[in-house]
A and B are shown apart, each in its own frame.
Chain A
Amino acid sequence: MKDNTLFRKLLISGTLTWVGLLAVVPYLILFRTSFLERGGEILQATGWSLTNYTRLFSPAVFSMAMDSALLAAGTALLCLLVGYPFAYILVRSGEKVQPLLLLLVMIPFWTNSLIRTYALVIMLKADGIINALLLRLGLIDQPLQLMYTSLAVFIGLVYTLLPFMILPLFAAFKAMDLQLIEAGRDLGAGPLQTFLRIIVPLTMPGIIAGTMLVFLPALGMFYIADILGGARSMLLGNYIRDQFLVFRDLPMGAAASIAMTVAMGILLFLYYLASRRSGEGHLK
């Protein structure tokens, strides 16, 4: 028993040190840097400047942030539309099929997402696999323009992030008592009513968690939009990278990163509020 608590203490303090050193400290450095003037060094820092944060509200940067948010929201919606039925099928599938299907969801994780994105290029390009197949079948006589379109960007983002939607939805479906559906049916609910009033509310935690897990990374995955979309529009992720690497304005890049994190934090807080309220609702 005593050994157990010692082990636990060691484990917890080890984890805390790890998180502290590798997550909290860099974040504090980033936070302090975001209040410096361009070219400022954190060790010789004197004042706190808000210039970088006011620059975030310039029309160009603001529209860029909106574009990024729309793209991420679209990706989350598409993932939900594809992932929801799949998670349902996954839960209803037999004991032999289910592990296999889950494995198929996980396998892409074994390959680096950058490599998978380049693999998509081979599929989508004008002389790529899809176009070659359609031409061979005689369905088209000119190659389709698939690469460097918003369609390609959505294909890439949904393909990369879909597992993050499926897994929480799968957990939510798994926790749902299937007898409730039968009970609803016994009480005279039609299929649509069963779906909207029983299945959706009960899987809501999974829907929200999945949406968060897709939306937040989609904001940062600028390389997919660059490679598949042709980098014609600028996203928040590009902007932050350019500030650090191209324009060497570390404080501005830090400010944009902090702003993005705060925005995400607000979303998570709203999620927390919503889930608490729905929890209270259940109690009443």
Chain B
Amino acid sequence: MKPLVSTLAAVLLLLCLAVSAHSSNRVLNLYIWSEYIPDEVVAAFTRETGIRVNLSTYDSNEAMYAKIKLIGSGYDLVVPSSDYVGLMQREGLLLPVDTTKITNFAHIAPRFTNQSFDPNNQYSIPYMWGSTSIAVHTGMIAAESVQSLADLWQPELKGRLLLPNDPREVMAIGLKVLGYSVNETNAEHLQQAYEKLRALMPLVRVFDSDSPKQALLSREVAVGVVWNGEAYIANSENQAIEYVYPPEGFSLWLDSFCIPRGAENIEAAHLFIDYILRPEISAEISTAMGYSTPNKAAFAHLDPETKDNPIVNPDPEDAARGEFLDSLDDATLQLYEQHWINLKTGR
């Protein structure tokens, strides 16, 4: 009788272990921007840890945010942009990240940690970053004539200018040229930025945030305020398209790993973040994807072409003028809305 009981108990225990190991450690449900992580990196992680990664993708912060907010389970790791980190954290949609479990956290350059949207990185670990700034088609207009944000207001650009189709990014241009923050909440400063931008509207030929490189490459516009990933592709297709970091400043974006509410495989999520932050892995991702890594230890492993490309890795002096977009409170958001509609309807 006794051996039978103990055998049964042992089998049961093994089963329990297997089941719990399966549910807590063996799977990771990763929800990430499309084309944002190389398949080889994910496969290598599974080979090393035995954790199977279920990868699903999104193409806008809003889509990811809506899913986490409305469904609230099924994902262990998401990659929101900085403003959405702040918003989701305030709405209680994120679980804390235990940085003591992430041994490679120290590799992240200090200027990407401890940001206003997440002090002390309690909820987010930086993954990749970039900027929104001025791309100039030097085959259409002299490079020297567009070196600052103020240069955008020149009459030569009438009908040859592209702006992002995004209220935050457009207001950021007006705010920065006046010397204010891209996260301005002062109503009077916002009003001034709006007045300034009103004079820019007649020059705009197109608003596009989806594929602005298109208009530059086909010479529809000479100058565009675009996101650096677009400028990188445009530049690799046509060297005449240059990317400028204006003296007045510009907005930066930073996408970070976060653990959403309802995550079930928190241990695996930490393991995955730690794996990604290994210098050689971060370098591999940056090279493959063409985005900048916040991992300073990864620089030694970057291929020179990526490392020295100013569109991917601006020199620190330029990068220092950038400012991360943070989320805004509802009242300020309503001011942005008013100004945006008035700009678009020509009031």
Contacts and interface: CB of A to CB of B under 8 A. Distances in A.
A and B interact: yes
B271 to A, nearest CB: 33
B342 A231 contact: no
Contact of A64 (B207, B330, B345): B345
Interface stretch (A91-99, A125-133, A196-204, A262-270): A125-133
Q: Chain B, interface size: which category?
A: 20 to 34
B218 interface: yes
Given A226-B165, A232-B207, A126 B220 contact: yes
Contacts of B60: 245
Interface string B183-213: 0000000000000000000001111100000
Interface stretch (B40-48, B71-79, B332-340): B332-340
Contacts of A127: 218-219
Contacts of B344: 232-234, 238
Nearest to A243: B337
How big is chain A's contact interface, by range?
20 to 34
Interface stretch (A20-28, A55-63, A70-78, A165-173): A55-63
Contact of A121 (B205, B214, B347): B214
A229 to B, nearest CB: 8
A86 interface: no
Nearest to A148: B206
Contact of A231 (B208, B214, B220, B334): B208
Contacts of B342: 60
A125 B214 contact: yes
Given A128-B218, A231-B206, A248 B333 contact: yes
Interface string B32-63: 00000000000000000000000000001010
Contact of A234 (B219, B336, B345): B345
Q: Main secondary structure on chain A at its contact with chain B? A: loop
Contacts of A63: 345
Interface string B157-201: 000000001110000000000000000000000000000000000
Contacts of A64: 341, 345
Contacts of A143: 219
A246 interface: yes
A125 B336 contact: no
A61 B347 CA distance: 11
Contacts of B330: 38-39, 248
Given A148-B220, A248-B333, A230 B341 contact: no
A157 interface: no
B206 to A, nearest CB: 3
Nearest to A246: B167
B312 to A, nearest CB: 27
A248 B62 CA distance: 9
Contacts of A234: 341, 344-345
Contacts of B215: 147-148
Interface string A222-245: 000010001111100011001001
A148 B218 contact: no
Contacts of B337: 242, 246-247, 249
Nearest to A244: B62
Contacts of A39: 330
Given A245-B60, A249-B337, A232 B347 contact: no
Nearest to B340: A242
Contacts of B166: 246
B197 to A, nearest CB: 14
A246 to B, nearest CB: 6
Contact of B62 (A59, A60, A125, A245): A245
A64 B220 CA distance: 26
Contacts of A121: 214
Contacts of B336: 247
A245 B61 CA distance: 9
Contacts of A147: 206, 215, 218, 220
A16 to B, nearest CB: 26
Interface of A: 38-39, 59-61, 63-64, 67, 121, 125-128, 143, 147-148, 226, 230-234, 238-239, 242, 245-249
Closest 6 CB pairs of A and B: A230-B206, A234-B344, A231-B207, A245-B62, A125-B218, A127-B218
Interface of B: 60, 62, 165-167, 204-208, 214-215, 218-220, 330, 333-334, 336-337, 340-342, 344-347
Given A126-B219, A147-B218, 15 more contacts: A39-B330, A60-B341, A67-B345, A121-B214, A127-B218, A147-B220, A148-B215, A226-B208, A230-B204, A233-B346, A234-B344, A245-B60, A246-B62, A247-B337, A249-B334
11 contacts: A125-B214, A125-B218, A126-B218, A126-B220, A143-B219, A230-B205, A230-B206, A234-B344, A242-B167, A249-B334, A249-B337
